[in-house]
Structure 1
Amino acid sequence: MRIAIFTDTFHPDINGVARTLKHFTTYLDDQNIVYKVFAPDSHSNEYVSTHIRRFKSFSFFLYPECRLAFPNLFRIKSELQQFSPDIIHVATPFNIGLCGIYLAKKLNIPLVGSYHTDFDYYLQFYDLQFLSKILWKYMNWFHRPCKKLFVPSNETLKQLKQQGFANLEIWSGGVDCQHFHPFYDKKTVREQYGLSKKYLLTYVGRLAPEKDLKTLLAVAKTLPSEINEQIHWLIIGDGPQRDELQNEAPENMIFTGFLKGEQLAEFYSASDLFVFPSPTETFGNVVLEALASGTPAITANSGGVKNIIQTGVTGYLCEPGNVQEFVIAILLLLENHSLRKQLGLEGRNYALTQSWNNIFANLLWHYSKVIDEPKIQKYA
């Protein structure tokens, strides 16, 4: 099987789409499956591969980590014909994605797509709700040629069905449980970074309006002072709201910027709770990473996160934006060590069932079905 992937974001970009695709291409390398990625250039030149064709680009205003590229269509067509893929996978609905759809039609190559980002929900955080109908019309038009459209959760599948999308299949996220685990030396991690207070509460993600970090700040300020004095908040990530949030944040809140690798995994493991108020997730990769690290998650009861968190088993789901519900859940778990430990164990057990290898093997099976479909029709 030869796979061409068209995406407007890829490693080393830091977002869910880029990270998922990097896991996928690593899997393809391990399986000796030939692929080629067409993607925009990156802020960083740390990752170079002969499997990737990069294009000059600029940031998209709603999602700066997703870039709008300036691809040369004739050059891509020539490269694609030379590569001769069995299937094209379009992962994002911007310029590179449009090239993938056009060339799949032009060269009669089987086409699949994936839907990763709830841009419609994003609109309300940027006061652009009036664009909702136009956005859905575009998304429907963009994805209509796909023989299959992969979505990361049942919640997203329901949402797209209501909007008239067809050929939907679940392609959920996974987690590397050998990298994210509860067995890092928590005491050493805390000492190394001067985290001396009793509890460590962590958020990981973009610092942007659609993540509803205003609710997180309100929660931190609403907790009783006698508890707050025992808490260190760790805000891991970066984005357009960082300066504003830092100016408004309480003194016990530390902003680290983006972290990755073992350092990120250590912080997950050392944390007592993972607090994630974002209502806009189609899946919630960081939530699954927290569970793999044995850290219970308190999240917004919205989007794909609802399919990961089971209230009272692996964490707690709170009404989006409801500060009091988040506060109650945090206090319940901080004051009940045995419950917190039990939720951590259950979260780890759940994460162990979410293997990337199984998820990608299932995706390749769907690819094979799409590739074989014209042959079956021909001989039917």
Structure 2
Amino acid sequence: MRVAIFTDTFLPDVNGVAGTLGRWVGYLESKKVQVQVYAPGHPEGAFDRYGTTMVHRFAGIPFVLYPECKLAIPNPFHIRKSLRQFRPTLVHVATPFNLGLYGHRYARKRGVPLVASYHTHFDRYLSHYKLQWLEPALWRYMIWFHRDCRTVYAPSPSTADHLRAKGIGPVELWPRGVDTGRFHPEADRGEVLRRYGVAEDRFVYLYVGRIAAEKSVDVLLDAFRALPEDVAERSRLVVVGDGPMLAKLRESHAGSGRIVFTGFVQGQPLAELYAAANAFLFPSDTETFGNVVLEAMAAGTAVVGAAAGGVGDIVAHEMNGLLCPPGDAKAFAAAATRLYRDRELLARLSEGGRRHARMQSWDAIFARLLRSFEAVAAGTEGKKVESVRTV
């Protein structure tokens, strides 16, 4: 099997989609599947390698709803030439936009099996940027784009249901795993917190993610400000990430002393922050999955999340975390206060999260996904195969 992947983000970009696709490519390589990737990144026409995989790079322009990601400006001559040489037996489009459109067109024209993976609820981003009037047009386009796909892969049951309700399908689950060798509870808590000016005796609430409107960062900050004073004075909120709201929030909270904005953190320092925190607060209701929630669980950090989207699928309320109504800062404050006051609950949710995370093996997930890809390439995807679960 030869797989051509078209995406608007790929390593070394740092986000959930790029990381997942990078792992997927590495897994395919380990199974001797030939892969070529088409992605933004370097000057148009340039290419590089990821392992043995050729990564064709194209100039791009910032995407209006997510400036850190780029919409590639494809070079049709270069793409046609490389595809003619590679002769893919399956096309995987991980974006419905520029490069994805080219992969979509190539597959339709050449009769090559086409699959798509759905990663972002762009429709739910629109209201945060006062663009909700675009939603009907967006869905008309998304339905058209996916209608020729043999399979559409969704990262969570709620996302799969969302797509089916819009008339997109057939849909299969492609959930996410977590590297429990990297994310675990062991860390020198005092040393980790000192790096960010936080005393070891403080109860630490952690947020990791983009600092942007669609992540409901305002709910996070409102919830922390709503904590009872006896809890707030003994607590700190550590906000990890970059994004369009970061500079303004840093300025407006410069003298608070209780809220720390670290900026962008990755790798081992990020894993250590997860392990050093007592609780993870994640109010975003726009997630198709929520990789950071699974990472926090693997680190043994009790999770409070929004009862919406992919987060609502990961968190089993009162079992491995707590769920709150989306946008309800008072409910998040109440849940955060419970974890501060009830250390038995904190420990129970921490252990429940760790148990759940240990069951999310990347290898098992990718093995099922590969069987599904092979069925599509062979034209047997309609038959019962032991693959990613059809929803």
Q: Distance in 1 between matches of 2:355 and 2:67?
A: 35
1:150 corresponds to which letter in structure 2? Y
Residue 114 (structure 1) aligned with residue 111 (structure 2): no
Counterparts in 2 of 1:246-257, with a 5 A limit? Answer: 246-249=250-253, 250-257=256-263
2:307 corresponds to which letter in structure 1? N
How big is the shift at 1:171? 0.5
5+ residue gaps, structure 1, are none
Q: Distance in 2 between matches of 1:356 and 1:130?
A: 38
SS of alignment partner, residue 51 of structure 1: strand
Residue 56 (structure 1) aligned with residue 59 (structure 2): yes
How big is the shift at 1:25? 1.6
Residue 304 (structure 1) aligned with residue 310 (structure 2): yes
How big is the shift at 1:341? 1.1
Q: Distance in 1 between matches of 2:98 and 2:115?
A: 16
Partner of 2:355: 349
Counterparts in 2 of 1:143-182, with a 5 A limit? Answer: 143-182=146-185
Residue 130 (structure 1) aligned with residue 95 (structure 2): no
Match of 2:193 among 169, 190, 194: 190
Contact 2:239 / 2:261 at 8 angstroms: preserved in 1?
yes
How big is the shift at 1:48? 5.2
How big is the shift at 1:96? 0.5
Q: Distance in 2 between matches of 1:174 and 1:248?
A: 36
How big is the shift at 1:29? 3.0
5+ residue gaps, structure 2, are 384-391
How big is the shift at 1:251? 2.7
Q: Distance in 2 between matches of 1:107 and 1:81?
A: 11
Contact 1:12 / 1:42 at 8 angstroms: preserved in 2?
no
Q: Distance in 1 between matches of 2:193 and 2:262?
A: 14
2:126 corresponds to which letter in structure 1? L
Q: Distance in 1 between matches of 2:292 and 2:240?
A: 11
SS of alignment partner, residue 95 of structure 2: coil
2:34 corresponds to which letter in structure 1? V
How big is the shift at 1:154? 0.7
Partner of 1:207: 211
Q: CA 1:71–1:353 in 2, change beyond 3 Å: closer, same or farther?
A: same
How big is the shift at 1:70? 1.1
How big is the shift at 1:284? 0.4
2:341 corresponds to which letter in structure 1? E
Identity %: 44
Residues 285-324 of structure 1 deviation map (CA, whole Å, 9 limit, x = unaligned): 0001000111111011111111100111111110111111
Residues 185-239 of structure 1 deviation map (CA, whole Å, 9 limit, x = unaligned): 3233224443204211110001111011111111111111221111121111101
Residue 242 (structure 1) aligned with residue 246 (structure 2): yes
Counterparts in 2 of 1:355-370, with a 5 A limit? Answer: 355-370=361-376
Partner of 1:14: 14
How big is the shift at 1:347? 0.4
Residues 255-299 of structure 1 deviation map (CA, whole Å, 9 limit, x = unaligned): 111111111000001110000010100100000100011111101
Partner of 1:36: 36
Partner of 1:288: 294
SS of alignment partner, residue 331 of structure 1: helix
Partner of 2:79: 76
Q: Distance in 2 between matches of 1:153 and 1:48?
A: 30
Given the two structures, how large is their TM-score scaled by the length of structure 2? 0.92
Match of 2:341 among 335, 345, 349: 335
Contact 1:202 / 1:235 at 8 angstroms: preserved in 2?
yes
Of stretches 108-117 and 30-39 in structure 1, the one that deviates more from structure 2 is: 30-39
Contact 2:372 / 2:381 at 8 angstroms: preserved in 1?
no
Q: CA 1:232–1:42 in 2, change beyond 3 Å: closer, same or farther?
A: farther
How big is the shift at 1:42? 5.7
Residue 222 (structure 1) aligned with residue 226 (structure 2): yes
Given the two structures, how large is their TM-score scaled by the length of structure 1? 0.95
